[in-house]
Amino acid sequence: MGERLADEVSEVVKNNPGVSKVSFVGHSLGGLTLRYAIGKLYDPPGGRSVRQEKSESSTTNSEKGRIKGITQSHATIAGLEPINFITLATPHLGCRGNQYLPFLFGFAALETIAPLVSHWFIGNTGKHLFLSDGDKDKKPLLQRMVTDCDEGKFLSALKSFKKRSAYANVCGDRMVGWRTASIRKAAEMPDPLHEGLDSKYSHVVREEDVPVVAKGSSENQNSKPEEISACDAAEEEMVAGLQQVPWWRVDVSFSKAKATYQAHNLIQVKTASAHGEGADVIEHIIDKHFSEYLVRDT
């Protein structure tokens, strides 16, 4: 899916030469697909962009010479300036941890069986989510996606955005757990809140800036036995990798909503009629990320 999305973005950029900036918003698995795609679309400062390379096939020889002389002063995604990277209820750490798949209700037996049978239902995606797709020569895809590797510049691509935000459901999400969606280690989990920060965003209960944590620093060392059992080495590696870039965490609670246990769809307002209670979260995304780019009527 990530490869196909990268191709689609490149095609859209090629057909819209007036576009100069790009932001991405991904829900659930869409957030992981986006992380893979931007790793493919990333171009470092001074490098030639995917957009330039794609355009060469339809340009004259003189234009090709001009394009080859163009370099990027900043990192780009498909030749565009990266602005916002936003995920909603995305399982950044996969689904292998305790209560990462809430519909299993935290039962150890079910969480042990799930990785063994998931590929029967959702194919390779199941293997990716449960980190069972690796071998002795290659780590699982989600672990590779917190680094820069031959497959893609995944970490550099994330770093290139001006802002990275992770929205997570505190409760009521049967598909994606709070911890994996908010990129937290077990020891970092705060007490759940259920009161909105203000009346405008009644379901947004916490906002916090997550500073960069240098990989290998003492803050990333796992010394507590109880933490080791809840967060294995692979998860530690993913959290440490993702925390090499600053994130803005936003916790959302639909505990007082009529459709509490549809939180996975409420957070993105899948349909206005059934999930309209989540509209304030969408408004929060717009106000906090895109307000300066909107053209408003005067």
pLDDT in tens, 24-37: 999 999 999 999 99
Mean pLDDT of 263-275: 95
**Residue range 157-163: mean pLDDT, rounded:** 97
Q: What is the mean pLDDT of residues 258-287?
A: 95
Q: Give the pLDDT confidence of 104-123 residue by residue, as tens digits.
A: 444 354 445 545 444 444 44
Host domain of residue 73: 1-298
The mean pLDDT of the chain is 81
Count other C-beta atoms under 10 Å from residue 234's C-beta: 18
Number of structural domains the chain divides into:
1
**pLDDT more than 70, % of the chain:** 70
Query: Tell me, what's the pLDDT at 124?
Result: 60
